[in-house]
Structure 1
Amino acid sequence: MADAKVIPFDDDRSRGGAARPARRRPGSGRRATERAASGEASAEPGQEAAAGRAGRLSRGEKRRTGRERSGEAVVSPLPEQAAGAAAGDGPANANANANATPAPEPGAAGAWDRRVAGGLAFLRRRLTGDYEVDEFGFDAELTDQVLMSLLRPMYEKYFRVEVKGIENIPSEGGALVVANHSGTLPLDGLMMQVAVHDNHPAGRHLRLLAADLVFMLPVVNELARKAGHTLACAEDAERLLRRGEVVGVMPEGFKGIGKPFSDRYKLQRFGRGGFVSTALGAGVPIVPCSIVGAEEIYPMIGNAKTLARLLGFPYFPITPTFPWLGPLGAVPLPTKWTIQFGEPIPTDGYPPEAAEDPMLMFNLTDQVREQIQHTLYKLLVQRRSVFF
Structure 2
Amino acid sequence: MADGPADVWDRRVAGALAFLRRRLSGQYEVDEFGFDPELTDQLFHPLLRTLYRDWFRAEIDGVENLPAGGAGLVVANHSGTVALDALILSTVVRDRHPERRHLRLLGADLVFRMPVVSELARKSGGTVACNPDAERLLDRGELVGVFPEGFKGIGKLYADRYKLQRFGRGGFVSAALRTGTPIVPVAIVGAEETYPMLADVKPLARLLKLPYFPVTPTFPWLGPLGMVPLPSKWLIRFCPPISTAHLAEQADDPLVVFNLADQVRETIQQTLLELLQRRPDPFGP
TM range (shorter): over 0.9
**Partner residue in 2 for 1:317:** 214
**Partner residue in 1 for 2:122:** 225
Q: Deviations over 1:219-258 (max 9, x none)?
A: 1111111000000100000000010100000000011110
What is the distance in 2 between the residues matched to 1:321 and 1:118? Answer: 38
What is the distance in 2 between the residues matched to 1:299 and 1:141? Answer: 33
**Partner residue in 1 for 2:107:** 210
Q: How does 1:272-287 map to 2 (within 5 A)?
A: 272-287=169-184
Structure 1 residue 366 corresponds to structure 2 residue 262: yes
**Partner residue in 2 for 1:384:** 280
Q: How does 1:220-259 map to 2 (within 5 A)?
A: 220-259=117-156
Q: Tell me the SS of whatever aligns to 1:349.
A: helix
**Partner residue in 1 for 2:199:** 302
**Partner residue in 2 for 1:33:** none
What is the distance in 1 between the residues matched to 2:4 and 2:67? Answer: 36
- Pick the aligned partner of 1:261 from 140, 147, 158: 158
Please tell me the residue identity of whatever aligns with 2:59: E
What is the distance in 1 between the residues matched to 2:57 and 2:110? Answer: 29
**Partner residue in 1 for 2:73:** 176
**Partner residue in 2 for 1:135:** 32
* TM-score where L is the length of structure 1: 0.72
**Could you say if the C-alpha distance between residues 324 and 354 of structure 1 is closer, same or farther in structure 2, counting changes exceeding 3 Å?**
same
**Partner residue in 2 for 1:355:** 251
Q: Tell me the SS of whatever aligns to 1:344.
A: coil
Give 1:158 shift: 0.8
Structure 1 residue 196 corresponds to structure 2 residue 85: no
What is the distance in 2 between the residues matched to 1:327 and 1:122? Answer: 30
Give 1:384 shift: 3.4
Q: Deviations over 1:308-333 (max 9, x none)?
A: 01111000001122112222222211
Give 1:105 shift: 4.3
What is the distance in 1 between the residues matched to 2:46 and 2:107? Answer: 21
What is the distance in 2 between the residues matched to 1:275 and 1:154? Answer: 29
Q: Deviations over 1:63-86 (max 9, x none)?
A: xxxxxxxxxxxxxxxxxxxxxxxx
Q: Deviations over 1:69-117 (max 9, x none)?
A: xxxxxxxxxxxxxxxxxxxxxxxxxxxxxxxxxxx74222222121111
Please tell me the residue identity of whatever aligns with 1:299: P
Please tell me the residue identity of whatever aligns with 2:232: T
Q: Choose 1 or 2 for highest CA Rg.
A: 1
Q: How does 1:56-71 map to 2 (within 5 A)?
A: none
What is the distance in 1 between the residues matched to 2:71 and 2:268? Answer: 20
Q: Tell me the SS of whatever aligns to 1:207.
A: strand
Q: Tell me the SS of whatever aligns to 2:137.
A: helix
CA RMSD of aligned residues (A): 1.0
Q: How does 1:336-351 map to 2 (within 5 A)?
A: 336-351=233-248
What is the distance in 1 between the residues matched to 2:171 and 2:269? Answer: 19
**Could you say if the C-alpha distance between residues 116 and 233 of structure 1 is closer, same or farther in structure 2, counting changes exceeding 3 Å?**
same
What is the distance in 1 between the residues matched to 2:224 and 2:21? Answer: 36
Give 1:217 shift: 1.5
What is the distance in 1 between the residues matched to 2:202 and 2:279? Answer: 34
User: Which structure has more RCO (C-alpha within 8 Å, separation ≥ 6)?
Assistant: 2
Q: How does 1:40-189 map to 2 (within 5 A)?
A: 105-189=2-86
Q: Deviations over 1:296-351 (max 9, x none)?
A: 11111111101001111000001122112222222211101011000000111224
What is the distance in 1 between the residues matched to 2:68 and 2:11? Answer: 30
The share of aligned pairs that are identical, in percent, is: 66
Q: Tell me the SS of whatever aligns to 2:269.
A: helix
**Partner residue in 2 for 1:333:** 230
What is the distance in 1 between the residues matched to 2:63 and 2:168? Answer: 26
What is the distance in 1 between the residues matched to 2:43 and 2:182? Answer: 30
Q: Deviations over 1:189-217 (max 9, x none)?
A: 01101110111111000100001111122
- Which residues of structure 2 form unaligned runs of 5+? none
Structure 1 residue 288 corresponds to structure 2 residue 181: no
- Which residues of structure 1 form unaligned runs of 5+? 1-103
Q: List, as ranges, runs of 4+ consecutive aligned residues in structure 1 with deviation greater than 3 Å.
A: none
